[in-house]
C-alpha cells in the first residue's frame, strides 16, 4: 500500500530529484526477511544494521541465519529459502535458471594467507622471511604443499592463486569440459575447499600447510600458534569488492522497495563501522563475537577489526584498512570489480572458452546493479542522513575504476575496459 507523504526537491550531481521526505514512499513488498551469512567478521554490517535498528527504521523485520558454507548459502538464495545474504562478490552473476546479483558491496579487503608454523620455521631456517611474503620463497619447500580456500569461485581462491602464480608457482587449472573441476591440473601446489571456521583445525591436523580465509580465522591460528599470516589480500589485490549483499535477480524484480530498503540500512551500517577512524569497531567486535554471529573471542576479532593485525609472532602492524566498510566509496558496486573476478575465472579455466571484451562488460553490469544503489543513496541524502559528497558523483560515475585505483602484488595493470589484454600479461594462466 502506498503511503501519502510530503515530498521535497533537491539537486544531486546536476539532476533535479523529487523524493518523499522519508526517502521512500512505498512500504516494503515483504517485511519479514531472512538473511544468510557465513561466520566471518565482514558479516558485521548485517549484525550492526539489526542491533542498531537500521532495518527497523526501514520497516523491515530481519532474521539473520548462519550458513555452514558458501555453497549452501548460494543454493538457499537461489531457491528462495533466504531473501538475501552476505555473499562473495564473485558469486554475483551466476548464470543458469536463476541468477544472483548485487546492488551493494559490504566491504573491501578482510582476508589473509596463513602458513603453518612448521612451514614458517622451514622458511626461517634458510633466511629471515619478509612480510608481506613473496610466494617465491615457497619454492624452497621440497614437498608439494596443500592449501585451503573456502569456495571455488571465492575471492580467497583467486587471491591465493594470484599470490602463488606471482611467485612462480602454478596453482592448477580447472578443466570443466573434461569433467575435472578439482582445479589441480598441472598444479605445483594443491588447493582444495575448507569451510572458514574449520581452517585452524585443518592447519593443526596437517590437512593443509596453509590457507587463504577471512577473519577471524587467520588471527585465531596466530593466537593458537598454529600458523603465521604472511600476506593480507590488500597486498595481493587491493581496493576491490570482497563481500556483497547478494540476492536472486527474480527476487529483486519482485521486491524492488524491499531491496532498496535493505541497501539503505546496510549503507548506514557500513558508515557506522568506518566513522571517526573506526571508533565503533570495538563495539562491533563485541556484537559479532556472539555465538549466533561469528562465535569467536572478541579479543581475536578486535585484532583486525580495530586496525591492528599480527603477522609473524610479535609482528603487530597498524592496519586501519584491513577491513573497509564505507570509506573509499567501498559500498558502491563498481562493475569493474566484477570484471576482474571474471578474468580470474578465465585465467584458471573455470570459463572454458575465450570471451569477448563485450561479454565481460555485459555480464559484470548485469551482476552489479549501480542503479538501485544510487536510488538508495539519494533517499538517504534526502532524509538528511548523508551528504552528497559521501557518495561518488553519480552524474559522471561510469562504474569502472581507473587502473591506478587498484593495487596488485605483482604490479600488473588492470584496465577493466580491456580484460583480454589484461590476461595477456601473465606468464601463468590461460591467455586467449
Question: What distance lies between CA 422 and its chain's CA centroid?
Answer: 22
CA proximity to 108, closest of 273, 364, 327? 327
Q: Do 111-238 and 7-109+240-404 have the same topology in CATH?
A: yes
> What is the arrangement of strands in the sheet containing 241-248, beginning at the earlier edge strand?
61-66, 32-37, 84-88, 241-248, 100-109, 323-324
**CATH homologous superfamily of domain 111-238?**
Periplasmic binding protein-like II (3.40.190.10)
* Contacts with 331 (C-beta within 8 Å, 6 or more apart), sequence order: 104, 105, 106, 266, 267, 270, 325, 373
Q: Where are the alpha helices (DSSP H) in 190-334?
A: 199-205, 217-223, 233-236, 249-254, 256-278, 281-288, 298-305
β-pairing, 323-324 vs 100-109, is antiparallel
Residue 204 φ/ψ, nearest 5 degrees: -65, -40
- Top CATH class of 7-109+240-404 equals alpha beta
Report helix, strand or coil for 55.
Answer: helix
Cα separation, 311 vs 399, whole angstroms: 34
The domain ranges of the chain are 7-109+240-404, 111-238
Smallest CA-to-CA distance from 235 within 335, 134, 306, 151 is with 134
Q: Which residues make beta-bridge pairs with 231?
A: 113
What whole-number distance in Å separates Cα of residue 374 and Cα of residue 392?
A: 9
Q: Is 231 helix (H, G, I), strand (E, B) or coil?
A: strand
Closest CA to 169 of 210, 126, 204, 139: 139
**How far apart (Å, rounded) are the C-alpha atoms in residues 361 and 417?**
8
Q: What is the pLDDT along the chain (432 residues), one digit of tens a residue?
A: 333 333 433 333 333 344 443 445 589 999 999 999 999 999 999 999 999 999 999 999 999 999 999 999 999 999 999 999 999 999 998 656 679 999 999 999 999 999 999 999 999 998 889 999 999 999 999 999 999 999 999 999 999 999 999 999 999 999 999 999 999 999 999 999 999 999 999 999 999 999 999 999 999 999 999 999 999 999 999 999 999 999 999 999 999 999 999 999 999 999 999 999 999 999 999 999 999 999 999 999 999 999 889 999 999 999 999 999 999 999 999 999 999 999 999 999 999 999 999 999 999 999 999 999 999 999 999 999 999 999 999 999 999 999 999 999 999 999 999 999 999 999 999 987
Amino acid at each position: 500500500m502506498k503511503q501519502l507523504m510530503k515530498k521535497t526537491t533537491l539537486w544531486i550531481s546536476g539532476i533535479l530529484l523529487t523524493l518523499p521526505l522519508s526517502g521512500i514512499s512505498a512500504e516494503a513488498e515483504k517485511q519479514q526477511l531472512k538473511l544468510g551469512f557465513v561466520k566471518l567478521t565482514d558479516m558485521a554490517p548485517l549484525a550492526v544494521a539489526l542491533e542498531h535498528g537500521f532495518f527497523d527504521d526501514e520497516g523491515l523485520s530481519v532474521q539473520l541465519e548462519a550458513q555452514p558454507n558458501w555453497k549452501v548459502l548460494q543454493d538457499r538464495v537461489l531457491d528462495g529459502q533466504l531473501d538475501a545474504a552476505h555473499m562473495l562478490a564473485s558469486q554475483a552473476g551466476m548464470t543458469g535458471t536463476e541468477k544472483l546479483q548485487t546492488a551493494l558491496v559490504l566491504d573491501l579487503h578482510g582476508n589473509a594467507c596463513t602458513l603453518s608454523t612448521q612451514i614458517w620455521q622451514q622458511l626461517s631456517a634458510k633466511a629471515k622471511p619478509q612480510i608481506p611474503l613473496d610466494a617465491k620463497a615457497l619454492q624452497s619447500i621440497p614437498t608439494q604443499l596443500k592449501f585451503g580456500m573456502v569456495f571455488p569461485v571465492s575471492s580467497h581462491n583467486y587471491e591465493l592463486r594470484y599470490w602463488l602464480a606471482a611467485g612462480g608457482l602454478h596453482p592448477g587449472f580447472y578443466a570443466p569440459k573434461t569433467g575435472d573441476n578439482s582445479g589441480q591440473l598441472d598444479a605445483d601446489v594443491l588447493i582444495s575447499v575448507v569451510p572458514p571456521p574449520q581452517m585452524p583445525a585443518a592447519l593443526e591436523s596437517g590437512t593443509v600447510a596453509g590457507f587463504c580465509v577471512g577473519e577471524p580465522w587467520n588471527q585465531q591460528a596466530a593466537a593458537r600458534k598454529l600458523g603465521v599470516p604472511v600476506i593480507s589480500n590488500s597486498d595481493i589485490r587491493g581496493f576491490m569488492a570482497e563481500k556483497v549483499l547478494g540476492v536472486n535477480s527474480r527476487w529483486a524484480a519482485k521486491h524492488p522497495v524491499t531491496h532498496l530498503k535493505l541497501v539503505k540500512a546496510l549503507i548506514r551500517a557500513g558508515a557506522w563501522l568506518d566513522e571517526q577512524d573506526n571508533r565503533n569497531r570495538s563495539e562491533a567486535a563485541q556484537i559479532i563475537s556472539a555465538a549466533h554471529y561469528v562465535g569467536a573471542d572478541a579479543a581475536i576479532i578486535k585484532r583486525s577489526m580495530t586496525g591492528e593485525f599480527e603477522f609473524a609472532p610479535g609482528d603487530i602492524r597498524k592496519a586501519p584498512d584491513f577491513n573497509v566498510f564505507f570509506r573509499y566509496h567501498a559500498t558502491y558496486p563498481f562493475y569493474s570489480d566484477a570484471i576482474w573476478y571474471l578474468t580470474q575465472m578465465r585465467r584458471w579455466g573455470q570459463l572454458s572458452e575465450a570471451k569477448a571484451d563485450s561479454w565481460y562488460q555485459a555480464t559484470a553490469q548485469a551482476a552489479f546493479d549501480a542503479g538501485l544503489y544510487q536510488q538508495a543513496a539519494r533517499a538517504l541524502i534526502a532524509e538528511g542522513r548523508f551528504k552528497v559528497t559521501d557518495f561518488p558523483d553519480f552524474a559522471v560515475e561510469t562504474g569502472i575504476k581507473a587502473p591506478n585505483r587498484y593495487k596488485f602484488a605483482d604490479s600488473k595493470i588492470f584496465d577493466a575496459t580491456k580484460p583480454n589484454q589484461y590476461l595477456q600479461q601473465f606468464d601463468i594462466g590461460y591467455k586467449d
